[in-house]
A and B are shown apart, each in its own frame.
Chain A
Amino acid sequence: MKDILQIARSHVVSAIRERITLFWFLIFPVFLLVILALIFGQVGEEGEITFQIALANQDAVSSSFASAMIESAFVEVSSSAAPGKEPLFRLRRPGPGEDIEAFIEAQLLAVRRGRLAALIILDAGSGESLTTDAPSEAAPAVEVHYSEGNAASGMAVSIIDQILAGIDRGMLTQAGAFDPGASIPTHKAYVGSAEDEAPYVDFLLPGIVVMGFFMNGLFGIPGAILFARDQRVLRRYWVTPLTVPRFLAGISLGHLALCILQFALVFVVGRFALGATVNFASLSAALVLLLAAATFMAFGFLIASVSKTANSGMAIANILNMPMMFLSGLFFPIAGLPGFLRVIVHVNPVSYLADNLRASLEVGAATYAPLVSILVPVAWILVSSAVAAWRLKWDVGR
């Protein structure tokens, strides 16, 4: 038992001493968790995201009620940030005495160049259109200029539309054309077992844990075996009483310890720095995590068994890393994939393990049947172990 523990200890210690390994196993998952949570966790949230927009009120001369109302609404949104937060919009308006046409020209260029999310132009006739009986036939009162290919521009426009819709309803109410009390109620529902959408960081955290385990198995196991083999360390082991099964047991134990370390770090950052509420303290979650660690460890053995050298092993791992990670639904939706890529999704153990873990933590509805999401990873363990037992060489070729 002592030799197994020593191999496990050496596996953990060498992983921690190697700064690059430390980066990929521990720092990178945490970095990705923080980046994705900061970016996608706050989409559309006031105070967390800000858009630069401009407003040119060409109706300022006549000072119509509508244009003044619209302008003041945007001024209010751009100045109403809580302490330490950013306003939803940073608003540019022409300065006193500034030529409005020149201002519009400059802002349109800024929208085209991506420096400005949108430009709102209130036409000179916007006040008049409010009093007409057929406003839809009136000339456009509000022009929203934006850039379609710019995601920030698209999002800013959807928020601007909502603000304008609110102003529109307010004006209709004042004109007696709309009764807010008689509005048709709108409800929101989520399909599947989930009653509500979990916070994004809760959804993300299990994915990052699975990704960390995946990278640990994909790079850690072949790295440990192949570098030791290439540097003839393994050859020295085999002249001691250490046997291959005991060496494997030690590597597996070390791998498990690294997974636990990785999980602890990601969990602590997710829980205490990003406010995740997901509860991993359940038997089903623990079993899925164990299954994930075992599956990716077996996968690592499979890669080690088909690689001639450590460098080729790392290259194979690099080649497989991205397709397996991105074609699993871990971070990005995979709905629009064509048939040949869906095959990868359906044989990819990462897809099943991430789905299974999220379902067991109740932060998403399970896409796969529970039995299937266990059987596919188990099949990978069996196939990988069989190939490794058949092909894996424990010494460099002579």
Chain B
Amino acid sequence: MYRYDEFDHALVQDRVAQYRDQVERRLSGELTEEQFRPLRLMNGLYLQLHAYMLRVAIPYGTLSSRQLRKLAHISRKYDRGYGHWTTRQNIQFNWPKLDETPDILAELAEVEMHAIQTSGNTIRNVTGDAYGGVAADEVEDPRIWAEIIRQWSTLHPEFSFLPRKFKIAVTGAPHDRAAVRFHDIGIIAKRNWDGEIGFEILIGGGLGRTPMIAKTVRQFLPKRHLLSYIEAILRVYNLLGRRDNKYKARIKIMVHELGIDEVGEMVEDEWERIKTSELELPAEEIARIEKYFQAPAYEPMVGEDTGFAAKRFEDKAFAQWVRSNVAPHKQPGYAIVNLSVKPEGQPPGDVTDAQMDAVADLAETYSMDELRVTHEQNLVFPYVKQAELYELWQKLAEQDLATANVGLAGDIIACPGLDYCSLASARSIPVAQRISKRFADLDRQHDIGELRIKISGCINACGHHHVGHIGLLGVDRRGEEYYQITLGGAPGEDASVGSIIGPALSSDDIVDAVEELVHVFIEWRREGERFLDTYRRVGAGPFKTRLYEERFNAAA
């Protein structure tokens, strides 16, 4: 895993000192709120509905036990004893005090963490496949490239005042677990016809008020040109991205208005000018970063481990958990474990300080000291021996982190919504809790199969509802909370934006409506189909009919 070198450490310490001074000047009145606001945002500090909110960067979602223990300590000492995992693999604290935030950042710096560029019109946290380095289907470890981009983008002087925020994601596997097609720049590592590994570069994807799927600007880019090419994209965006209208300022709007061909030409022109500059990555530099991510000291598998298979046969609950929460690993004898942070009826994506400490201990014992945060608000242990799965499962269950619902109806993504966020129109957390309770029966969830429900409390779509198989968008209708349903969204390689299927339904009706949608699916599905497959095959018709003609008269 990545280790900071001295340069990074000094940079982060300097940043803390600079920020501490800015806070002092704000408290003394030397800086007004208007002057201070962009400065605090550059360190991830928002002022929300009830309090400040601090968003801490977790580079491509990767954490060590030591870092997680520090996050637990921060939540205990400076916050209210919990943290929230976000849809960009970061963590959020909801109750820090302004005058204590410099201390929080100083403590984070001790474990090489920070909140730089987690807000503002900058290049944000580079996200990646949470299974990076261990996925069975992986072509290239995306973390190497996420790290290279991270180093290049942190405090990049030319790109500190972009027209708007900028988000980059990297996948190294054909099955895209990083939703790259919904990012400003999406990077897919792949092989060309000669077997050489390089990148497909896509631009102009996004969610928010205007969801769009990214378009390919370069089919194959050799590795050494990654930074110069991205720099070219950022330069074109920085120059031409709109600065007159906040809602039309993302690169997706630029690509939409000018067309991918014209934008592509501009990028290629700029790239020609800079491709042989110091941004070209020498092989030794790539190798140096690759070393940080080399495979850990796996224990070779001895014989066939029958312990694991036998346990699955004996213990139905364990088997159920393996089916939904455990994924295949590239190393024989190992497994990838998903920790579900979606216990039945609870706010999704929240962990207490006690849970964070427990997870840190478990990661140390069972996952070589490392864990990942997913963009679906869960956690991953990337290096678990199959022989230890049963023991780990029991320990996770003690922490309420072993609900066998990953990727199923109970694994709901929800933004903080009107309970916490000053931008929201309606609440999302209680709706997630209600749906979770309605589908509490795990056998039922497993029978339904893969079903990704995502809830956003407003059109900014931080809950990623556009790419939910079932997406819910909270709206305010005459002071009442209503929810609009979209169907058929998908974030991966089969990217699609969900379609609205009818008028918004009331808060009273929405959970029944979601259950009705599942009933329709069960009635129509063929063998082996997921909800998404059935929807794609039969279309919205049966779902619309059931909701709007048979059950809910939403004509009002």
Binding between chains A and B: no
Q: Which residues of A contact B (CB under 8 A)?
A: none
